[in-house]
Chain A
Amino acid sequence: MKSETLILVQILLPLVGAVLFFIAKLMKNQNLRRIVEVAGGIVGLFLPLVILMLLYPMVNKSSIRFFVGNQNPLIGIALHFDGMSWLLSIMGFISASIAWLYSRTAGPKSQEFSALFLIQTFALTATASSADLFNLFVCFEILGIASYALTAFSGKGRAYMAAFSYMAVSSTAMAIFLLGVFGIYRITGSLSYDGIARYITEVYSEGQIVGIGLSLVCIVVATAVRVAILPVYGWLPEAHASAPHAISAVLSGVLIKVPLFALGRFLFLLMSNVSAIDIIFKEVLDVLKFSGTLTALVAVIFALSQKEAKRLLAYHSVSQIGYVVSAWAIASPVAIAAAWMHAFYHALFKGLLFLSIGCVTDAAGSKDVYTIRNAYKTGVVPTVSFFIGALSISAFPPFNGFASKAAISYLHKGSWEYVILSLASIGTVASMFKLSRIFWPIKSKEKIETFTDNPIRITGFWLKFSLLFFSIACLMTGLFAPQIGALAGSLVGSQQNPVSGKLYTFNSLQGTILLFVQGIALYLMVTSPLGKRITHSIEARRPSFAGLLFAFALGLGMLGGLVLLRH
């Protein structure tokens, strides 16, 4: 089969799966319905993984560019499947398929949920290979609409409100994104990345440079809302905390990163053609690097202050995306490979944490980290899974987070970003220590003592399977980090492996021990009376609806103002 056909099939299969789920909903015969549902899952989530394996040798040789249906370039949809598209798709499908299996036990089990889930996965993979700004806009919107609806699927009032806030700020951002697309089309007369890249080298007039710069700011800030970095991350904690667990895992694991890397495919292509606008690109990337690094620290302070388990994890997602953005914005191939590695590893360990904490809090009937205790009684699998996830996110060798955080730290060595990210790592260890208390075999000081009298064991084949899969994946991707680094490096065109060959040395082990000691010391400070007072006041803060939009306007105004002032 031709590579173009394989790529299209891989993108469209999740949609076929979604249709199968809608057909299953119409069926009255229960056995037949179950068969169609299983077929929908296999076709929509697992078959594309097989196709991606077939595509690997092709994409490793060179990227594949084509127009859907061999249409005229003026009206056709341009697709460009390169190494980054492959990496994003594989990350999306692994995370989505395991999270979907989890939902087979933990719910929601309705056909509409699975169909929407597959539509979201379709949008993910389409975003990854889009090579046209308008097509990117449409993919972002499909991704958005599916995820707003999926967030609301838990049926709780706060989930509806979170979905509405997410939608309001995201739709406003998309209107601004469209303005940016318009600006670029008006100046360059093209919407495809290649067309824009060709034209951009010929732009010399000051007015056009500023025009493209401002359009770029619109596109970047609108995408930053989806990526959730400072100052526009306010919608995320509530949405990720109130969504069904399987959705939280995918939203945090994949959905916030794909827009970032999709934007990178556009920005870095334009930057590779030397033009008068390069200086604006560099300034915008510097601002993103600054913002990403700061996000890593600020979000972890918020995480440390939370009392609701899933909200704590949601703030961690914001913090970890800060790490990813800080590396991505360096914009060299090796930095992009390191950013992808951390994004992928985060998808695995955050998926594991959301799923394990999700089933434990469901069994406990509470989400409060201060009142749940003795959660080890729920079973070996959830307990071991949680600790593997916690050790991974805390960068404990040989789990995967250690390798990817080491790769990012190496990139920043000697700069102020290194110091900030190191501080954020200490916060991560402290907050994971705080979260792990729900498993400790001790009595809670609060009134409710969950799991002391009636231990509820967590059962269900697919639930345990998904937890075990993510756990093993966290370990294996940590052990084979140099090989995965080499694969990512070769696919994004880097000569250098982002992961050092000497990963597990005595020095790095010493560093880890020091990090853990600092983390525990910070935890003790946070649980002191003064620390508690401070964290309670931070925890009580909830971003208001107007605040979310104000933050977006502020981000847009500041970055736009910077471009106008400097040029």
Chain B
Amino acid sequence: MMINRILLLGLFLLGFYGLMVQRNMVKKVFALSIQNSAVVLLFILEGGSIGSHAPIVTEGQTEYVDPIPQALMLTAIVVGICVTALALALVYRLYQKYETLDVEEIQRKANNEE
């Protein structure tokens, strides 16, 4: 169990590192998505720790996992998709405007635009 959590922390930090350090805007969007996935996976992992079956209640079935984290994560995934879509749209517009995906170059050009 512990190794899973450490791996998920690693995944989250990988996303955070990518978002902070990568200069390519598209890679930054990927990193954002990885961060989100790490949190979603943590919820599913922890929610699944008390049972072993899918939360479909049938007769005699008691060993099902906590359904709440799964239901919540469906919403979180949808929100994540919206954020990714909007982020990519913004990156596309920035590319159209400045013809580069390098964040530092874009920031420099945007500051000069003022």
Contacts and interface: CB of A to CB of B under 8 A. Distances in A.
Interface in B28-64: 28, 32, 35-36, 38-39, 42-43, 46
B39 A175 contact: yes
A160 B93 contact: yes
A160 B12 CA distance: 26
B90 to A, nearest CB: 5
**Chain A binding surface SS class:** helix
B94 interface: yes
Given A148-B86, A164-B91, A178 B39 contact: yes
Given A172-B32, A545-B103, A179 B42 contact: yes
Nearest to B31: A168
Nearest to A238: B110
B113 A158 contact: yes
A376 interface: no
Interface string A342-371: 000000000000000000000000010000
Interface stretch (A8-16, A63-71, A149-157, A436-444): A149-157
The residue among B25, B36, B82, B83 with the most chain A CB atoms within 10 A of its own CB is B83
A553 B36 CA distance: 16
Given A157-B97, A545-B107, A175 B87 contact: no
A390 B12 CA distance: 45
A249 B32 CA distance: 29
Nearest to B40: A178
B45 to A, nearest CB: 10
Interface of A: 74-75, 134, 137-138, 141, 145, 148-149, 152, 156-158, 160-161, 163-164, 167-168, 171-172, 175, 178-179, 182, 185-186, 191, 308, 367, 542, 544-546, 549-550, 553
B73 to A, nearest CB: 9
A217 to B, nearest CB: 16
A152 B90 CA distance: 8
B65 interface: no
Contacts of A546: 20-21
A14 B68 CA distance: 29
21 contacts: A138-B79, A141-B83, A145-B82, A145-B86, A152-B93, A157-B94, A157-B106, A157-B113, A160-B97, A164-B25, A167-B90, A171-B35, A178-B39, A178-B76, A182-B46, A182-B69, A185-B69, A186-B46, A308-B114, A549-B20, A550-B20
Interface string B2-27: 00000000001000100111000100
Contact of B83 (A167, A179, A308): A167
Contact of B90 (A156, A164, A367, A544): A164
Contacts of A141: 79, 82-83
Given A168-B28, A171-B83, A172-B19, A160 B43 contact: no
For chain B, the bracket of interface size reads 35 or more
B28 to A, nearest CB: 7
B39 A161 contact: no
B71 interface: yes
Contacts of B91: 164
Nearest to B73: A178
A544 B107 contact: yes
Interface in B65-86: 68-69, 71-72, 75-76, 79, 82-83, 86
Contacts of B28: 168
A157 B86 contact: no
A160 B96 CA distance: 11
Nearest to B98: A157
Contacts of A74: 68
B87 to A, nearest CB: 6
**What are the 9 A-B residue pairs with the smallest beta carbon separation, nearest first?**
A158-B110, A157-B97, A141-B79, A549-B20, A161-B110, A546-B20, A164-B90, A175-B39, A160-B94
A163 B110 contact: no
A314 B83 CA distance: 25
A545 B25 CA distance: 11
A362 B104 CA distance: 28
Given A141-B82, A152-B90, 19 more contacts: A141-B79, A141-B83, A145-B82, A145-B86, A156-B113, A157-B94, A157-B98, A157-B109, A157-B110, A158-B111, A158-B114, A160-B90, A167-B87, A172-B19, A178-B43, A182-B46, A185-B68, A545-B107, A546-B20
A175 B36 contact: yes
Contacts of A550: 20
The residue among A185, A545, A549 with the most chain B CB atoms within 10 A of its own CB is A545
A157 B110 CA distance: 6
A367 B69 CA distance: 49
A173 to B, nearest CB: 11
Contact of A134 (B38, B72, B93, B114): B72
A439 to B, nearest CB: 22
Contacts of B20: 545-546, 549-550
Contacts of A163: 90
Nearest to A142: B79
A172 B35 contact: yes
A55 B69 CA distance: 35
B3 to A, nearest CB: 19
A161 B86 contact: no
Nearest to A149: B86
B105 to A, nearest CB: 11
A19 to B, nearest CB: 18
Contacts of A161: 94, 106-107, 110
